[in-house]
Structure 1
């Protein structure tokens, strides 16, 4: 992978992380959600869930950053890469759970039962991304085995 492409991807990761951090600060400060007529307990729990969901996103961005480091070093086909991919899968699943819980809280507060269904579908779609990454992990594991066999032959 070319160094220019790695630098471009890292720039995108930094922008994504900073955007997530900005939203976390605004949510934690109450500037986005506002208190309005929402009960304080529900608003507080929703703010915590949103901050944790965005933290899952930021953690997955960090894991991708580390994987890009392995690509740059030429050691992406190593067992170390599998650990980072496993962490990405965990972060994606955590984000899916956060979306589901946030959808449930908003649906209960606004008395919108259809929103629970929407949150469930969105969570399942995010879970589908985790499954795709899991398939990619299996391919990486297979390629790592091929790389090890090839080194043994050489």
Structure 2
């Protein structure tokens, strides 16, 4: 059972990633935008909106990490094909959706104000990437729902 052996190292890296994201939320992102405001006073008005949006994106990623942790617990206990697992997949979908909505808002804001196409193209690429990930998770959720139904039906027969 490879998946059973993969759970422990994956949890280590999830915890490490979560810790790094907390560091980014509390120190790096606010400090970076404060520095940018000092360096370019004409764009200083963007300091707090940019800080809030990026911290929100990190929160979305953290919600996904927590949901993955919970799903890993269910895998380890062989309870992944239960209706309870769908709740955690929904958390992932809602976090991706919330991040996507704010990303589209930032893309549109920057796109209408940009004089250089570099940042809007980068934001467009990120928007397409997050869209693909969200749709992929939605398809995987449907597959999990079908597998859960099949397992429930099989357990009822047995």
The bucket for the TM-score relative to the shorter chain is: 0.7 to 0.9
SS of the residue corresponding to residue 92 of structure 2 reads helix
Query: 2:52 aligns to what?
Result: 48
Spell out the pairing of 1:31-42 with structure 2 (5 A cutoff): 32-33=32-33, 34=35, 35=37, 36-37=39-40, 38-42=42-46
Contact 1:77–1:144 (8 Å) recurs in 2: yes
Residues 105 and 18 of structure 1, relative CA distance in 2, 3 Å threshold: farther
| Structure 1, 39-48 or 77-86: larger mean CA deviation | 39-48
Shift of 1:107: 5.7
Aligned-partner Cα distance in 2 for 1:112–1:104: 14
Query: 1:150 aligns to what?
Result: 154
Where do 5+ consecutive residues of structure 2 fail to align?
A: none
| Structure 1, 91-100 or 19-28: larger mean CA deviation | 91-100
Q: Any idea what the Cα deviations from partners look like across 1:100-140, whole Å, max 9, x if unmatched?
A: 34445556776435522431232121111010011100110
Query: 2:29 aligns to what?
Result: 27
Aligned-partner Cα distance in 1 for 2:6–2:103: 32
Query: 1:57 aligns to what?
Result: 61
Contact 1:96–1:124 (8 Å) recurs in 2: no
Shift of 1:4: 3.5
Where do 5+ consecutive residues of structure 1 fail to align?
A: none
Residue 15 (str. 1) matches residue 16 (str. 2): yes
| Structure 1, 67-76 or 88-97: larger mean CA deviation | 88-97
Shift of 1:90: 1.2
Number of aligned pairs? 152
Spell out the pairing of 1:131-150 with structure 2 (5 A cutoff): 131-150=135-154
Aligned-partner Cα distance in 2 for 1:20–1:99: 18
Contact 1:104–1:119 (8 Å) recurs in 2: no
Scaled by the length of structure 2, the TM-score of the pair is 0.85
Q: Which has the higher helix share?
A: 2
| Structure 1, 17-26 or 99-108: larger mean CA deviation | 99-108
